[in-house]
Amino acid sequence: MYCTNCGHQVAAEAVACTSCGLPPRKKNKHCQHCGVAVNEEQVICIQCGVKLAGAQQGLMGQAQDIYNQPKNRVTAGVLGILLGSLGAHKFYLGSWGWGIVYLIFFWTYIPGIVGVIEGILMLASSEEQFQSKYPVSGQAPFRF
């Protein structure tokens, strides 16, 4: 019998190939970079260190995906109305630079007034208008 991963000859009752170390009858995927056989559970290739295509993400990958999700128009609008003076809506939308400016000038009440106006405008806009104004990929510290 031959290993389905590397082609090395193995005994019929073998639980692992002596050449590649993987189960000989299990069909495994291969690294898209170097071509070495990898297990279904692997996230990176041990040979070259490249992240495998279709690999399950760990907790850090899931946490980073949260920031790449489209933002909710209603949440941003309510944050602007209720906590606009602290810049909560700006932080939520990824404009952390403006959020810090709102925090610095919190005592002047100007960010509160602007936050209420921005919150009302967000709630009054359509979902398409909101997503075009606040795209996921175009977030920057000082984006309006």
The torsion of the CA quartet 132, 68, 95, 85, rounded to 10 degrees, works out to 90
pLDDT, tens digit, 9 for 90 and up, residues 82-120: 999 999 999 998 888 999 999 999 999 999 999 999 999
pLDDT, tens digit, 9 for 90 and up, residues 40-87: 777 777 777 777 776 555 555 555 555 667 889 999 999 999 999 999
Give domain status of residue 20, yes or no.
no
Name the residue among 53, 88, 94, 91 with its Cα closest to residue 70: 94
Give domain status of residue 82, yes or no.
yes
Give domain status of residue 127, yes or no.
yes
Give domain status of residue 25, yes or no.
no
Give domain status of residue 101, yes or no.
yes
Give domain status of residue 107, yes or no.
yes
Asked if pLDDT for residue 132 goes beyond 70, the answer is: yes
How many domains does the chain divide into? 1
Asked if pLDDT for residue 28 goes beyond 70, the answer is: no
CA-to-CA separations, 56 to 30, 59, 103, 111, 126, in angstroms, rounded: 15, 10, 38, 42, 35
| Beta carbons of 2 and 8 less than 8 angstroms apart | yes
Phi, psi dihedrals of residue 104, rounded to the nearest 5° = -65, -40
Q: State how far the Cα of 103 lies from the Cα of 85, in Å rounded to an integer.
A: 7
Give domain status of residue 56, yes or no.
no
Quick one: pLDDT at residue 111? Answer: 94
Instruction: Write out the residue range of the structural domain in which residue 128 sits.
Output: 73-133
Q: Is 104 exposed, middle or buried (0-12, 13-18, 19+ CB in 10 A)?
A: exposed
Give domain status of residue 96, yes or no.
yes
3-state class (DSSP) for residue 9: strand
Quick one: pLDDT at residue 139? Answer: 60
Of 11 and 113, more confident? 113
